[in-house]
Amino acid sequence: MLQSLSMDVIAMEVMPDHIHLLVNCKPQLRLPDAVKILKGNIARWLFLSHPEIKEQLWGGHLWNPSYFVATVSNRSLEQVAGYINSQKNK
């Protein structure tokens, strides 16, 4: 669990040019803030482990500033998790 954000990752699949994440979080959490923190922390961890990557990126940036967020109800949770998990087969 990401303690400072109170977020649990339910499903994740890393694609060549994007990432699918299904997370459980409190409704009070501002989603743009959560995305910014997630992107920032992942980039920081990756660059600390592999500093050579930063030199290969345009402007030294890992992420495009865009993202997509949608809310999911308990009724559709299994369907969305199944979709994310099926992406590794494509």
Burial 3-12 (b: 16+ CB within 10 A, else e): eebebeeebe
Active site residues: 83
The pair of three-digit structure tokens given for residue 43, joined into one six-digit string:
């980039």
Distance CA 55, CA 14 (A): 22
Q: Coil, helix or strand for 5? A: coil
Amino acid at 22: L
